[in-house]
Structure 1
Amino acid sequence: MPKQSHRSPKLLDQVRERIRLKHYSIRTEKTYLAWIRRFILFHDKKHPKDMGKPEVETFLTHLAVDRHVAASTQNQALNAVLFLYKEVLGTELPWMEDVVRVKRPARIPEVLSSSEVARLLTQLDGTYRLMASLLYGSGLRLMEAVRLRVKDVDFDYRQIVVRDAKGAKDRVTPLPASIAETLKRQIDRVAAQHRRDSVAGYGCVYLPTALAAKYPNAQTELAWQYAFPSSRLSTDPRSGVTRRHHLSEKGLQHAVKGAVKRAGINKKASCHTLRHSFATHLLERGNDIRTVQELLGHKSVQTTMIYTHVLKLGGRGVVSPLDS
């Protein structure tokens, strides 16, 4: 009779199990595992239980001083390592006051003019044009547009409900009347594709674990399908279930980047630039800053205030002495 193995799971397997137990996204899982692996390799594969505050501070300082990472990247690495110690090793690390922290530069966001937005959109076709129109017309973040579900598009009230956005908050934002009919046709195509998938035995869609448990039949309903589904079926690396996921965000990013170039726009513009432009143009038209804050889903109005600085740039805030 073969002996049963009583070896405990490897450290990264323990991290993966803990992340899934807490229902973190697969993107977070991949990111945390990558940073924890880098932390261990940086210290010559020393086990984290034999390290602590000094080693974590050294690693984070190395990222700032030697690797010149952005502030958000350093914070991401810190969150991953803190998760390892608190959730897997059961250790609370003390406050790390000796870390060289990357300073977050105070930059004015890149914004397109209304005519530049129009030129950019004319360089896009089909689904990507519709999605880019939502980024600008509704102020959506890239992943908010990509993950949009059929049920969260409200044509009667002409609004879009953004679920579980940054900060785990929901918010409501306007659905532009100019693209409502195009979006209806897109959802009709989603419905037809969903019927074909259901007949073929692939009519399920991914739902977060808690939602899947609460609404066991929801994953097969049209309402929960992605408004912008992938053209291909794929197998979920966690569950092994084959189903239709949403479009890759990289495709939209690439399409917008190409459109910026073809439109002859000499600015460092991206998908997020369309959201910046949404906010700036609303303020430009006299909308209240608190309203814009709610539409963007900002926790603090101070975050939204950055767009008032955009309005004061160039010839908008002062009159050039050359023109006097």
Structure 2
Amino acid sequence: MKNIILKPIKHRNKNVVAIQFGYDDEIKDHLKKLDKILWSQTIKYFYIDLSLQNIRTVYDHLKLKNWTVDFSLLNEAIKNLKIERKRTSLIINQLPENYELELKKFKRWLFQKRLSENTVNTYIEVTTVFIKYALRKELDIYNTKTVETFNYSYIFKPNKSISYQNQFISGIKKFFEYKGFANGEIHLERPKKERKLPVVLSTYEIKSILNSITNLKHKTLLSLLYSAGLRIGEAINLQITDIDSKRMLIHIKQAKGKKDRYTLLSPAFVTILRLYYKAYKPTKYLFEGQKKEKYSNASAQRVLKIAVQKAGIKKNITLHSLRHSFATHLLEKGTDIRYIQELLGHSSPKTTMIYTHVTETSLKNIKNPFDDLF
């Protein structure tokens, strides 16, 4: 019988669950099937971020094999997590009517600032949580000390992701701006942005993913994301009339930054698209759900996850990885980076320049000094 111990540890200033077991290839291979599982060369353990959901996911995954899983060392951590969840749920419950009205007005104000729907919803969400926190603690909502206290207790201390921290800071600053406060009156230090290179798939891996899909709609969607370098939001917002097969272009309307642009329509993709159109007969949007509404982001994510598993690819990839791969492969084929910037819809060439760090062509041209030793 295989024995596995789950225990809480601190790793890179984060609370994580370490998965301890004797050397065993079967356990290793089984754990690698979970998306969020990471290996640490420092502590020599597989680990996952500490949360109730992650503990349950790992436990259930290991019990599929009927292995013995000892999580007694997690009892105290689980207890604290449950208390925190209960405390958070109290914040997220009811909001007085006058504040509900205030948030509706704030939402309209944000839309008038021409912010995207996703950004507006995020700002409303973080502001709502902040207001509920202040009310529960009986603190002055419009006091910067309240903001700083909330930021420490619910953002910094739990070690929320850098993107979440920035969303919170931006959302609260916008709320204070809406209320007539000057930006300088709120002192919130933004976290340093992590500099991560994008995950890029090889052309072989792209082909493996697409070949693993039997559903025509799913194959067409992922093919579009790669062949046109689209964000998932741009793909699911595409209408039939945005496909210009005469000019072999795709018209992307009001994308990120409220900008229109054109991108490539691949001749090979057109063949797939015509088969898809005959089979599914979309009426307005190119990709529609069962009730003819827009296809959902969550559905697209599931499609990719299943395809990646079937293709046997171990990289931690997302739908956006297809866009990264499109840009990188263009650069490797010698496409001018200014054209790639236009195709992707980047405002600044600095954003596009990140692909120069991951191109296989550039790296292969570097002579490794180790080779001169032999």
Match of 1:13 among 86, 92, 101: 101
Partner of 1:306: 354
SS in 1 for 2:102: helix
Partner of 2:174: 83
Partner of 2:263: 173
1:94-105 superposed matches below 5 A: 94-95=183-184, 98-105=187-194
**TM-superposed deviation, 1:132:** 0.7
1:257-302 CA-partner distances (Å, limit 9, x unpaired)? 1211221112111111000000000000000011101111111111
1:96-152 CA-partner distances (Å, limit 9, x unpaired)? 674232211111111011111111111123111111111111000011111111111
Residues in 1 aligned to 2:245 and 2:282: alpha-carbon distance in whole angstroms? 21
**Contact residue 230 and residue 248 of structure 1 kept, 8 A:** yes
Q: Higher RCO, 1 or 2 (CA under 8 Å, sep at least 6)?
A: 1
Match of 2:303 among 245, 252, 255: 255
1:43 equivalent to 2:124? Answer no
1:162 equivalent to 2:252? Answer yes
Q: Which residue identity lines up with residue 231 of structure 1 in the other structure?
A: Q
SS in 1 for 2:358: helix
- For the structure 1 residues 97 and 86, does the alpha-carbon distance in structure 2 shift closer, same or farther, using more than 3 Å as the test? closer
**Contact residue 143 and residue 249 of structure 1 kept, 8 A:** yes
SS in 2 for 1:109: coil
**TM-superposed deviation, 1:71:** 2.6
1:3-47 CA-partner distances (Å, limit 9, x unpaired)? xxxxx9521233224424636665445433321221123334368
C-alpha RMSD of matched pairs (Å): 2.7
| Structure 2 segments unaligned to the other structure (5+ residues) | 1-95
Return the TM-score normalized by structure 1.
0.75
Partner of 1:148: 238
Return the TM-score normalized by structure 2.
0.66
Aligned residues: 273
Partner of 1:238: none
Residues in 1 aligned to 2:288 and 2:139: alpha-carbon distance in whole angstroms? 41
1:229 equivalent to 2:288? Answer yes
SS in 2 for 1:172: strand
- For the structure 1 residues 188 and 168, does the alpha-carbon distance in structure 2 shift closer, same or farther, using more than 3 Å as the test? same
1:264 equivalent to 2:354? Answer no
Q: Which residue identity lines up with residue 226 of structure 1 in the other structure?
A: Y
Residues in 1 aligned to 2:312 and 2:279: alpha-carbon distance in whole angstroms? 33
Residues in 2 aligned to 1:129 and 1:299: alpha-carbon distance in whole angstroms? 30
**Contact residue 12 and residue 33 of structure 1 kept, 8 A:** no
**TM-superposed deviation, 1:254:** 1.1
Partner of 2:371: 323
Q: Which residue identity lines up with residue 269 of structure 1 in the other structure?
A: I
**Contact residue 134 and residue 140 of structure 2 kept, 8 A:** no
Q: Which residue identity lines up with residue 60 of structure 1 in the other structure?
A: N
1:126 equivalent to 2:239? Answer no
| Structure 1 segments unaligned to the other structure (5+ residues) | 1-7, 195-224, 233-243
Residues in 2 aligned to 1:82 and 1:99: alpha-carbon distance in whole angstroms? 9
Match of 1:280 among 320, 328, 332: 328
Partner of 1:67: 158
